[in-house]
Amino acid sequence: RPAEHQHVRYNPLRDDWVLVSAHRVKRPWQGQLEKPPPEDVPRWDPKNPLCPGATRANGEVNPNYEGTFVFPNDFPALQPDAPEPDDSDHPLFRAAPARGVCKVMCFHPWSDLTLPLMSLPEIRAVIDAWAELAAELGASYPWVQIFENKGAMMGCSNPHPHCQVWASSFLPNEACLEDRTQRQHLSQHGVPMLLEYAKQEAARKERLVVENADWLVVVPYWATWPYQTLLLPRRHVCRLQDLSDSEKDSLASIMQRLLIKYDNLFEVSFPYSMGWHGAPTGPYLQEDCRHWQLHAHYYPPLLRSATVRKFMVGYEMLAQAQRDLTPEQAAERLRSLPEVHYKKRAE
């Protein structure tokens, strides 16, 4: 019985395994307790560098934006004009060029508004901005990584709703790995891996969290984090910028539903790291990328409550990933949660 007996599950997207030990969640917890996120975030703060009209670290003043706002990261990890490293004198000491651009995108002018509390038109505006950035930066860069770190627990230093977009001159490790596994699957089975996987999960339903006509969200069979989810389109689509208007509308809806459930799980602004993966761009736009299927990963750290998180240490760092409840248990719990945000139930 998966919920009582440990076993390992294969992740075909990463070509690795995860140890499922669901009985461990019953053990008493005497470890670190996290502080819940503050509930009193001011809507506008002139000292917050992401707010409209505020001054950023480089001295630039933000416009009084009323929707999404994109600007160059003031402390970029990638720069377009970085010099090439010196040649290596030994195969164990290799370096390669790394160039790119980093941007920050604010979702909304209000600091106290997160995605699940935004309206569907406001979320759709975020999706449109994502697609525009993916197309703009992808015209020249091989990889455009859109990602959001939400909450201090996930390293976010500013509560204002925002994400980052890094475009790089190289394919990062995760992109290379997913490119290889998806290419192999198409070659061996004749169908894109995640397109087939979405159809299987839609039929089985045991790991399904939410779905609509164009999208579904599942706790993947091979999930590592306790309430990890995978957001998948139902049709074959390679890149975010390839979505139709109706698919963008239904994406806004399913994102809102998922994120409301996340917040309702422990009645807290749910922390996570999320990001979009799609077919590489730049020079790859001219290549056959049919093996790719667009998808988004959500990696939340909370395990038992708003204050108890899952730590990836010890065995996870030195051996392989391990989880403390089955994906089916996690999906059932998320699926059963209401889709009205806990902050709005009394309204």
Residue 188 is labelled as binding a ligand? no
Residue 158 is labelled as binding a ligand? no
Residue 27 is labelled as binding a ligand? yes
Residue 178 is labelled as binding a ligand? yes
Residue 74 is labelled as binding a ligand? yes
Which residues have a catalytic role annotated? 162
Residue 47 is labelled as binding a ligand? no
Residue 155 is labelled as binding a ligand? yes
Residue 134 is labelled as binding a ligand? no
Residue 119 is labelled as binding a ligand? no
Residue 157 is labelled as binding a ligand? yes
Residue 164 is labelled as binding a ligand? yes
Residue 236 is labelled as binding a ligand? no
Residue 331 is labelled as binding a ligand? no
β-pair partners for 272? 150
Residue 322 is labelled as binding a ligand? yes
- Buried b or exposed e, range 116-147, using 16+ CB within 10 angstroms: bbbeeebbbbbbbbbbebbebbbeebbbbbbe
Residue 295 is labelled as binding a ligand? yes
Which tokens is 136 given? 């703009």
Residue 73 is labelled as binding a ligand? yes
Q: What is the 3-state secondary structure (H, E, C) of the chain?
A: CCCCCCEEEEECCCCEEEEECHHHHHCCCCCCCCCCCCCCCCCCCCCCCCCCCCECCCCCECCCCCCCEEEECCCCCCCCCCCCCCCCCCCCCCCCCCCEEEEEEECCCCCCCCHHHCCHHHHHHHHHHHHHHHHHHHCCCCEEEEEEEECHHHCCCCCCCEEEEEEECCCCHHHHHHHHHHHHHHHHHCCCHHHHHHHHHHHHCCCEEEECCCEEEECCCCCCCCCCEEEEECCCCCCHHHCCHHHHHHHHHHHHHHHHHHHHHHCCCCCEEEEEECCCCHHHHHCCCCCCCCEEEEECCECCCCCCECCCCCHHHHCCEEECCCHHHHHHHHHCCCCCCHHHCCC
Residue 16 is labelled as binding a ligand? no
Which tokens is 329 given? 């248990």
Report the binding-site residues for UDP-alpha-D-glucose: 24-27, 57, 73-74, 149, 155-157, 164, 310-311, 315-316, 322
Report the binding-site residues for Fe cation: 178, 277, 295, 297
Report the binding-site residues: 24-27, 57, 73-74, 149, 155-157, 164, 178, 277, 295, 297, 310-311, 315-316, 322
